[in-house]
Amino acid sequence: MRMPTPPISRAYLMCPPDHFGVQYAINPWMDPGRPVDSERAGTQWRELREVLKELGHVVVQAPARRGLPDMVFTANAATVIDGRVLVATFRCPQRAGESALFEHWFRENGYQPVARARGVNEGQGDHLVANGMILAGHGLRTDSSSHEETSSYFGLPVVGLTLTDPRFFHLDTALAVLNEREIMYYPGAFSPQSLRVLRSLFPDSLEADDADAAVFGLNAISDGRRVVLPAAATGLAQRLAQRGFEPIPVEVEELLKAGGGPKCCVLDLRTPPTTRTPVPVPQTEQTEWPGARSVI
């Protein structure tokens, strides 16, 4: 049995599901005619928040806004690496109003630099850091043309991965980073070429089956040892335990009605916000970051 790395304390941004509901359909999971139990969704969200806090992580919150029911899925709000923030530009007009609100939150909480993505870029939902590179999903939400901007802004290589199954419309629904060198993913969500890339870069990774992928088992939160994942992904939990990880099951079936799970509900800030008075960011800092390369 391989020994996982020690847990790393994280800071997560969450947004309460005060206005959560399925009011439109922008992914295959959403059906406005299917009832959503708002009270139960709130309970599940709060239980997820408490689990993260009990594991020793910091949880901060952004306020919800009426008319933006998907704000609860903060993973899509931005990509945050080493304090740099690239705020999402959403493909679907139903979520476009979230960008300005999250950009304001980051500036008010002292992050710098903060910039809005020029191309369609759906934040950490499609951008996960592992082994010194950014794994970037595209093909369904984020545009592959945005990868160059992402690589340049963060100064890291980007590995583009083509998503082909509409059920797994963001990378974080089909792949989870367990630690810096180990991931788990669902092979059926990726193009043949992207699957070859993943198997080459991460040869010892855990490949999930259809049953666990279908309950969003890959939409998980890992601190290097403890893995928070949907309770319905029982097979995946067993396989994680066999590898020395500690699976932490949580109920998320109400959130799944909108195509969300544990990871969708958190944006990994890595370190807590400073809460200091933000410093204005020069225009050049917002647009150009030389010295990076993109692997697509």
User: 55-105 pLDDT, tens per residue?
Assistant: 999 999 999 999 999 999 999 999 999 999 999 999 999 999 999 999 999
Confidence of residue 282 (pLDDT cuts 50, 70, 90): very low
Q: Above 80 in pLDDT, residue 1?
A: no
Rounding to the nearest 10 degrees, give the CA dihedral for residues 70, 26, 30, 235: -90
Closest CA to 83 of 104, 57, 108, 111: 111
3-class DSSP state for residue 91?
A: coil
CA distance 271 to 254: 29
pLDDT, tens digit (0-9, with 9 covering 90-100), for 8-44: 889 999 999 999 999 999 999 999 999 999 999 999 9
Catalytic status, residue 147: no
Catalytic status, residue 264: yes
Q: Above 70 in pLDDT, residue 295?
A: no
Q: Above 70 in pLDDT, residue 285?
A: no
pLDDT at 287: 30
- Out of 15, 57, 138, 264, which one is annotated catalytic? 264
Name residue, tokens 């005619």.
Answer: 33
Query: Are the C-beta atoms of residues 86 and 273 closer than 8 Å to each other?
Result: no
Cα 51-142-228 angle, rounded to 5 deg? 15
Per the structure block, which two tokens stand in for 162? 């083509």
- Identify any residues that bridge with 152 across adjacent strands, giving them in sequence order: none
pLDDT at 75: 98
Cα distances (angstroms) measured from residue 259 to each of 71, 194, 225, 226: 13, 23, 26, 23
Cα 156-159-160 angle, rounded to 5 deg? 130
- Out of 15, 138, 170, 265, which one is annotated catalytic? 170
Instruction: For 11-16+37-275, give the CATH class.
Output: alpha beta
**Ramachandran class of 120: left when φ > 0, alpha when ψ lies in -120 to 50, beta otherwise:** beta
